[in-house]
């Protein structure tokens, strides 16, 4: 089964032929919302909006462990995670879709392992390459087939949220080598790795990060860009899912 995680702008999966809607109980509590299981692009998928059905859960309070474990319970082997980000370096402009291949985690205080309560030395995971390369390339192949422009690669900086960053913080992230900034790739990616679930992010650049644009940064503009980009995201999903 294929797992889809919807971020800002994708709380509902248009085109999903719903067969079952279930709230899963996990050893780590309840997921953000009931999982919606059905047919999408002729495949069985499980869809979960990470911020809840009505976008009421901020990034730092998402129960990431319950979300990923619920997919694991269903037998999900691949997760496509859609996320909105701010663009830092020049190619990552509003409306761009990118497939990050690296990340830097600046978040704090989030439960980031299933082994926190029962740790042993063998629970360490190799996280050199945090996004599954095979899955990334399948998404890129779908983008090429659909004649879509998608940036292959980039470093995703994960901040705590829910506030947006300061201009000085963005300059620091840029100096650190980040191309984009978001709030949800961690600990999602690490938790998926612990369970051997292939995980890739489809990052939608909703705005230029703080201090990089001459225009005021407004939530209204961010949401408008996300709305305009979701059609492209759905097109990309419908292209890649048959390949999985």
> Is residue 8 a known part of a binding site?
yes
> Is residue 24 a known part of a binding site?
no
Q: How far is CA 208 from CA 60, 89, 129, 177, in A?
A: 22, 9, 26, 16
The whole-angstrom separation of Cα 41 and Cα 241 is 6
> Is residue 201 a known part of a binding site?
no
> Is residue 183 a known part of a binding site?
yes
> Is residue 209 a known part of a binding site?
yes
> Is residue 93 a known part of a binding site?
no
The whole-angstrom separation of Cα 238 and Cα 243 is 10
> Is residue 207 a known part of a binding site?
yes
> Is residue 175 a known part of a binding site?
no
Alpha-carbon Rg for the chain in angstroms: 17
The residue among 33, 102, 48, 57 whose CA lies nearest residue 79 is 48
The whole-angstrom separation of Cα 71 and Cα 195 is 10
Q: Summarize the annotated binding site for substrate as residue ranges.
A: 183, 207-209
Q: Summarize the annotated binding site for phosphate as residue ranges.
A: 8, 50-51, 184
Q: Summarize the annotated binding site as residue ranges.
A: 8, 50-51, 183-184, 207-209
């Amino acid at each position: 089964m294929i797992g889809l995680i919807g971020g800002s702008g994708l709380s509902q999966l248009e085109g999903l032929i719903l067969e079952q809607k279930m709230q899963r109980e996990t050893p780590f509590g309840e997921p953000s919302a009931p999982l919606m299981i059905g047919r999408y692009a002729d495949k069985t998928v499980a869809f979960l909006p990470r911020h809840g059905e009505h976008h009421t859960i901020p990034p730092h309070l998402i129960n990431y462990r319950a979300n990923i474990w619920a997919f694991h319970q269903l037998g999900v082997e691949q997760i496509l995670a859609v996320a909105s980000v701010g663009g830092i370096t020049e190619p990552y402009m509003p409306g761009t879709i990118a497939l990050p291949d690296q990340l830097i985690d600046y978040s704090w205080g989030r439960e980031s392992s299933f082994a926190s309560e029962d740790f042993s030395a063998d629970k360490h995971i190799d996280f050199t390459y945090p996004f599954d390369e095979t899955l990334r390339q399948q998404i890129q192949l779908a983008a090429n087939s659909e004649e879509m422009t998608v940036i292959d690669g980039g470093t995703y900086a994960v901040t705590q949220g829910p506030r947006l960053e300061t201009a000085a913080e963005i300059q620091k992230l840029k100096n650190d080598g980040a191309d984009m900034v978001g709030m949800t790739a961690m600990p999602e990616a690490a938790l998926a790795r612990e369970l051997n679930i292939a995980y890739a992010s489809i990052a939608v650049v909703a705005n230029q990060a703080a201090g990089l644009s001459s225009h005021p940064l407004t939530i209204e503009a961010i949401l408008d860009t996300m709305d305009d980009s979701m059609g492209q995201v759905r097109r990309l999903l419908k292209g890649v899912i048959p390949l999985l």
